[in-house]
Amino acid sequence: MEHYNMNLTLKVWRQKNANTKGSFETFEVKDISSEMSFLEMFDVLNERLVNEGKDPITFDHDCREGICGACSMYVDGRAHGPWQKNTVCQLHMRAYKDGDTIVVEPWRANSFPVIKDLMVDRSAFDRIIEAGGFVSTNTGNAADANALPIEREKSEAAFDAAACIGCGACVAACPNGSAMLFVSAKVSQLALLPQGNPERKIRARNMVEQMDKEGFGNCGNIHNCEAECPKGISVENIARLNKEFLSASFFPEV
C-alpha cells in the first residue's frame, strides 16, 4: 500500500462541560502520515497545542484496538467515521486525501452529556448493566464442558450479541437516541444460554426500566443503529428484547 503525507483542516467541537455552550474550532495539521490512526493524528495535534501553551483537545480512548468502545466521536457526520464496522481508533488516515476538511464531534444524545470537548459521559450504560443484576451459578468444581449442551445456532447468536462493546454508536446514530440495540445485545447474550435462564425475566424488565429512567428514546425501527455499530450487532436482538420484556410483564417470576 502506498504511503503518503497530507495536510488537513480539522473542525473540532470544543466544549468546557455539559453546562457551557460549545463551538467548532478550526485547526490545520500538516505532514500527517497516511499510516497513522485517527487518534494518533489527534496526538500529534495535541502535542503541538501543548507546546504552544494551549488547551489540548480532550477525547476518550483506552485500548486503541477496537475493544473498549471509549473512542466515541462523530467523524464527518458518521459514528466512528467512514469505514464500516470500525471504531475511531481503528480508522486510519489513508481514508482521507491531502487537503481534506474533517469535522469531528462528540456523541449527540441527552443521555450522554459532554464531559469536555469530544468526551461524553456514558455511565448510563453502566447503570443499565448494573440493573440487570447477577447470574446464578453453582459453586464448587468447574462443570464439565459438555454438561450443558447448547444448540450451535443459539451459542453463535449469543456470542454475536456479546460482541457489543458498549460504545454508544447506536444511541448517537439513532434519531430518537434509543439504546435498544445495546440493551438488547446485553439481554440476548444471557437469554440465549441456559446459564442466564434463572433471572432472564427480571433482568429484561429491570434493564428496560433503567434504560427509560436514563432518558433514552424509543426505537423507531430505522436501523441506523445496526448500520453504524462497529461490531455489526443485529437488530434481531431488539425483537428478542421486546419478546423477553413482554414475557416478563405478562408472566412475572414469583
41-44-47-52 Cα dihedral, nearest 10 degrees: -100
- The Cα-based distances of 38 to 58, 104, 140, 173 in angstroms read 14, 11, 47, 20
Length of the chain equals 254
Distance CA 157, CA 174 (A): 23
The span from the CA of 72 to the CA of 66, in Å, is 11
The DSSP annotation for 68-87 comes to S-----EETTEET-SSSS--
Cell 467512514, residue?
82
Q: Is residue 196 a contact partner of residue 203, using CB atoms and an 8 Å limit? A: yes
The secondary structure element, H or E, covering residue 8 is: strand 5-14
DSSP reduced 3-state for 12: strand
- Cα-flanking dihedrals φ and ψ of residue 14, to 5°? -115, 130
123-250 has CATH 1.10.730.10 classification = no
pLDDT of residue 134: 84
The dotted CATH code for 5-115 is 3.10.20.30
Residue type, 99: G
d(CA 90, CA 251): 44
So what's the pLDDT on residue 149?
81
Give the residue extent of every domain in the chain: 5-115, 123-250
Q: What is the DSSP letter of 178?
A: B
What letter represents residue 51's amino acid? N
- Spans of the chain below 70 pLDDT: 1, 143, 145, 252-254
Contact between 222 and 180 under an 8 Å Cβ cutoff? The reply is no
- Distances 22 to 15, 55, 175 between C-alpha atoms, Å: 4, 15, 21
Q: Which residue in 68, 182, 91 sits closest to 128, CA to CA?
A: 182
